[in-house]
Structure 1
């Protein structure tokens, strides 16, 4: 049974919902019969029936006459479920724009071009286009220091491999991007969580952590998101960025800078790569700026590590999609990237304002216009709230997914605001408001400051 307040059938439904949304019980799986589950759990048959009915109303399971109860084909597509676990931008692409783009590409791209291998790091023309896109809203990088990757996650994988080799130790925020945690664990990289505050990674805590491991064997690197940190939304002021750079130089460590939310970053705030180009691997991509369907990332590499990065890229991917590169080239030239970016910023601002109005407890900087927000609370309370939200039809990121070490640091819930429709988002936020109010009524601590 789920460790949440409420009747037994609600606790059973919460436990099953958690297993379904986490994939422990896959889509299409047949659930035990009502009588069998009641016998195994030593509960009443009516209790199981009520729990199954609750799951069916929420679109997580479906009953087939004469066959039993089955997990629905895709929880994300269930009509009553709102998925707030995936950090994706609001959908701003129009069908007509996409159709016109493909029609133009069909006229311009011949079979020989489509059927040819391109350089693993991207053609010079496409790297120039990527550099032009980046310079239009963020920073200047020479095309010869850019590698085009299959999304920002791929860029992170290459950067980690080059910076740390086999094993190594990665220093990062006490809560951070789940994809980076997965990559590090997959590569056998040890992670050291570092305390953060309202501006993100704390310079004094990083200094102490690096000093404490100065004599350890193996390479060390720092993974950091200075602008719109995922999941807390914190952004470093210029002084904090300068402190981080000073400390990393003093301890002679490399830095992997994740700037995937550069669309929302002020131009007057330098990147760490601007301040420290000789030891910063700079990661960006288009999935959070334009559309998840445009799987292009970029990796700006310190000059001394270019050969190693090219080798790492070639070992993991033959080339980025030439079609995606051609789409980007067309959209940069005709101004579509600027138009879509403006629309995403406006939509994100509306969604963030709606979230803050419904959930004043959210930790959101006053100028934050991204599409994720952070609700700090103790880990146990966060896990209980996530389970209850799943039972109520709102899927949240598992709290431990953003923690390099679940035993160290603060916890909370990441709310991904960009994916659902406006109507679904409003419904989900209201559901969370009700859950938090019920926690308060039951005497639980609603949230704690980070």
Structure 2
């Protein structure tokens, strides 16, 4: 029987129980499909009233952590691990965090931001940035700068076909809200970012995982999915795919584009990681411009607090996304968009991207030295590693045991679409969740030491 460790948590008891449940989902102590005790059973075990436990379960259900089946009981939801990873983990605050794929905060970002804010405050354009802009898709000069940024990264587009959004995640959300109806089926790589899984579930879409290999999505698998039943859209990450780090070859991009056109399937190209590559490759959208929505962001590679992203739509289709904008934030922050516009125009954006890649190269070298002899995949300036565990380990046991040594990593299961088995691998983030290279080095040393060891007796499943 699951028993929550809630007594050390502040606040009302029922909230503390729900918080403890979220923590146990994050650590793997509770997994999707696990059956929970009945309200009465847990109340008896905790010596609490049934109403208190009922409130805790009701709160957990509102957080999408649990779901009930009449006649069978209450179970951890298939969405639970995705939801829990989208919020700060209270149990992780004292750990070396190698789970969160965020860029490194650099002094140059702070200097550039301070300079931009002063220039805007002292300049003539400030009054233009304060009111609503009722075309919603962005101010013309901001869209023109975005088109130049996108074109330099493999997607030739025009200002009229660009939509300004609050980061890549909102960009995908806007597209799904505007163009995909609840109940429709969309596809993604069989290992995909938890944020994509969350968006699909939140929109009540059926998400189908498609097979991948070392070069990303397999075109034949996409073709088979298109033939097997109605498929409305494909969400695909061809550059620095998370978690596998696959970079799709150009010929495969052409093949995916051709299949999408022949079967009339929308392509939502998620390229928030593309900036970590030294040299841009042509996007899938460049081979199927009438069929594709290309999404990227400055958040990962330039400055996360800016919260500005761009969507390149098919020609003449930008205003089709207004319903999606209206369902979220109506318009992106004009102030943030102005800073992005200035940084693109004066070269600051590219300079900050270069500095970010340079810092990550140094962190990748630290990881390569610490993990020598282990099986992992990396990119020269990538934001994370994808590490296969030795045969002695299972991912859930490894993640649980390394937490006891003060380090958090993400198991492969977090990225699995559907209920299929996951490989015994972990994603190791090297970015800004560790505030210094010294802290990162400490975490990597602990990781390397545990990889060379064997599971403790308490973590062996018989």
Matched, 1:341 2:353: yes
Matched, 1:98 2:102: no
Per the alignment, in what secondary structure is the counterpart of residue 243 of structure 2? coil
Q: Which runs of 5+ in 2 are unaligned?
A: 3-19, 30-44, 47-87
In structure 2, the CA distance between the partners of 1:307 and 1:333, relative to structure 1 (3 Å rule), is closer
Work out the number of aligned pairs and report it: 381
Q: How far is the alpha carbon of 1:374 from its aligned partner?
A: 0.8
1:328 aligned to which of 324, 333, 340: 340
Instruction: Give the equivalent residue in structure 1 for 2:162.
Output: 146
Instruction: Give the equivalent residue in structure 2 for 1:13.
Output: none
Matched, 1:112 2:112: no
Matched, 1:85 2:108: no
In structure 2, the CA distance between the partners of 1:307 and 1:393, relative to structure 1 (3 Å rule), is same
Q: How far is the alpha carbon of 1:24 from its aligned partner?
A: 11
In structure 2, the CA distance between the partners of 1:109 and 1:373, relative to structure 1 (3 Å rule), is farther
Q: Which stretch of the first structure deviates more once superposed, 373-382 or 243-252? A: 373-382
Q: How far is the alpha carbon of 1:196 from its aligned partner?
A: 0.9
Q: How far is the alpha carbon of 1:203 from its aligned partner?
A: 1.4
C-alpha contact 2:166 2:309 (8 A) present in aligned 1: yes
Deviations 1:79-102 (A, max 9, x none): xx2111111112224343332222
Q: How far is the alpha carbon of 1:221 from its aligned partner?
A: 1.1
How do residues 292-441 of structure 1 correspond to structure 2 at under 5 angstroms?
A: 292-303=304-315, 305-360=317-372, 361-364=374-377, 367-377=379-389, 381-408=394-421, 410=423, 412-419=425-432, 420=434, 421-439=436-454
Distance 1:225 1:174 in 2: 12
In structure 2, the CA distance between the partners of 1:340 and 1:112, relative to structure 1 (3 Å rule), is closer
C-alpha contact 2:293 2:313 (8 A) present in aligned 1: yes
Distance 1:222 1:298 in 2: 18
In structure 2, the CA distance between the partners of 1:76 and 1:332, relative to structure 1 (3 Å rule), is farther
How do residues 32-51 of structure 1 correspond to structure 2 at under 5 angstroms?
A: none
Distance 2:90 2:361 in 1: 30
Q: How far is the alpha carbon of 1:439 from its aligned partner?
A: 2.5
Q: How far is the alpha carbon of 1:247 from its aligned partner?
A: 2.1
C-alpha contact 2:398 2:455 (8 A) present in aligned 1: no
Per the alignment, in what secondary structure is the counterpart of residue 160 of structure 1? helix
2:188 aligned to which of 150, 163, 172: 172
Per the alignment, in what secondary structure is the counterpart of residue 299 of structure 1? strand
Deviations 1:60-88 (A, max 9, x none): xxxxxxxxxxxx9955653xx21111111
C-alpha contact 2:200 2:207 (8 A) present in aligned 1: yes
Q: How far is the alpha carbon of 1:277 from its aligned partner?
A: 0.5
Distance 1:306 1:321 in 2: 18
Deviations 1:245-267 (A, max 9, x none): 22222322111111112213354
Q: How far is the alpha carbon of 1:20 from its aligned partner?
A: 6.7
Instruction: Give the equivalent residue in structure 2 for 1:135.
Output: 151
Distance 2:24 2:107 in 1: 31
1:194 aligned to which of 194, 210, 218: 210
Distance 1:243 1:303 in 2: 21
Give the TM-score normalised by structure 1: 0.77
C-alpha RMSD of matched pairs (Å) = 3.2
C-alpha contact 1:101 1:327 (8 A) present in aligned 2: yes
Instruction: Give the equivalent residue in structure 1 for 2:233.
Output: 221
In structure 2, the CA distance between the partners of 1:171 and 1:96, relative to structure 1 (3 Å rule), is closer
Distance 1:337 1:186 in 2: 33
Distance 2:122 2:261 in 1: 51
In structure 2, the CA distance between the partners of 1:150 and 1:379, relative to structure 1 (3 Å rule), is farther
Instruction: Give the equivalent residue in structure 2 for 1:50.
Output: none
